[in-house]
Structure 1
Amino acid sequence: MQQNWKPTKIDLILSLLIVLVFPVLAGFLFARTGALLPMVMYYSLAWGLSIWRRGGSGYHFKKLPPPPVSFYINVGLIIATLVFSYFIRIVVDNPFIAGVIATALIWAVANASSEQLLWLYIFDSWDLYKTEKLGKTSRFAMRIAGLLLFSIFVGTIHTMYWAKFLHTVNPESSLGPIFIIGTSLSGYLHIVVWRKKGEMLYTFIPHFLLNLFPLFWTGYSILPYLLN
C-alpha cells in the first residue's frame, strides 16, 4: 500500500458509498444471516480495495523500520483502556473454551489486520486527493472531510454491527465512556502511525491487543453469532 498514493474521483465516490451504505448493510445482513457474511464482506472490502486501489496491503515483514513514538503511545493507550475494560467486563457463564480459542486465533487476528485498511482508505481518499493542485484551504477542507468520514464510518460500523454481538464490556457502566474514548483515540492514532512509517504492522499490534485480552477475562466466543 503506497504512502504516496494519489486517489482519484473514483476513490472519493467509493469511500463515500462505503461510509453511507456499508454499516447499514452490515446491520441488515446480521439480523438476517448472522455476523459471518457481513464480516467476510467487510474484510474482503478492506483487503480488496487496498490492493486494487493502492497497490498493496501495507504489511511488510522485511527490513522493518523502527516503530514511531506514536506507536508506543497507541500501545500505552490500549493497555490503559484494557485496564478499564476489565472492570466493566461482561463475563460469560460456562464459556465454550474451544470457541474462545478459535475467536482468539482467527477473529482477533483477522479483525486487527483488516479493519484499519478500510479506515485508512476512507481517510486517505480525501486527505491525499490532488494534494499537488489544491491550495491550503482546499487541502484543509479535504482533510477535515476525510476525518469526518473516518469518524462516521468507525462509529456507525460499531453501533450498527459490532455492538450487536461483540459483548465484552458494558458501555453503559460508569467507566464505559472511558473505554469508548480510549478506543476512539486509538483509531485516530492509527492514522498518525501509518503516516509516520507506512507499516500496517504497527497498527495491527495495538488493535490485536484490544481484540485479544478481553477474551481471557470474559470467556467470549464469536462462534454462536456467526450464523442465525
Structure 2
Amino acid sequence: MAEQTSPQTSPRRSGGLVSTLTVELHSHYAIRLWEGRNRSDEKDNKEYRHKIPGMPEAIARAGYAGRDAAAGNPYGDEFLVNLEEAIRLATKKVEEQVRIIAKITAAIPAGITISDVTSSEPLNLDVFSRSPLGYRCVWLLVHYDQLALKAFGAFHYGLINRSQRDQFLETGSKAVRVVYGLIQNYLSMPVTYEDIRNKTARGLAAIKRLGEPDPAVMSGEKRSSFSPLTADTSEDN
C-alpha cells in the first residue's frame, strides 16, 4: 500500500534565531574603556574629570537610535549615519597603529620567536546589542585591546620606548573616546519625518531643541547602511 500523508494546513516555520556573543578583553586599558568613568567633582579631587561613557551605555544608546530610526525619526537616521562614519574612521586609526607596531616587531633578528601577549585572566563579557552599530562599537574596542597588547609587548622586549608605547595607547584610546563622545550626545525625541516636513508641534519642538535635520537625510540621499527601512524614508526619495 502506498504511504499517505495528511496535507499541511499551514506552512511550517522554524523557531526564532538565537545567538550569543562573548568578548574577551586582556588589557587594563581596554577594560577601563569598557567600564567608562564617572564624573569627578572638584570638591573631592584635585583635578576635575569629565564623565566617559562605558561600552554598555554606548550599546544602549546605539539601540535607542536604531529604535527611533525604525519609527521614522530623522534624527535617529542622522545619528546612525554619523555613528557609522565615526566608527569607520576610529577603526581605521586603530588599525593603522597596529600595522605600525607590526612593522616594528617584524624587524627582530631571524631565529627569534615572540609569542602574542595575552592576559593570564582575561575579562570575559557576554554582549547583546539591539543595533548592529552597537556591535561595531564592540569590534572597535577589541581592536584597541589588541593594539594595547602589541604596544606592551613591543615595549617589554625593547622594540619601542616608553614614550612610543604611551603614544600608541593614547592614539587608540582617543579614537574610541571620539565615538563615545558622539554617542553620549544623542538625544531621543518622539518625532517623525512627516512632523518635520509639516512643521507640526512635535516637529517644531524637535527643531528648536536639535536643529534642522540634515537635508540629505530628509531626502533619503544619505542613510546608514544599518538604518532600518521605513515608509517614511522610502517614499518618493
Q: TM-score per shorter chain, which class?
A: under 0.3
Structure with the larger helix share: 1
TM-score by length of 2: 0.27
TM-score by length of 1: 0.28
* Larger RCO (CA under 8 A, 6+ residues apart): 1
Which entry has the higher C-alpha Rg, 1 or 2? 2
Structure with the larger strand share: 2
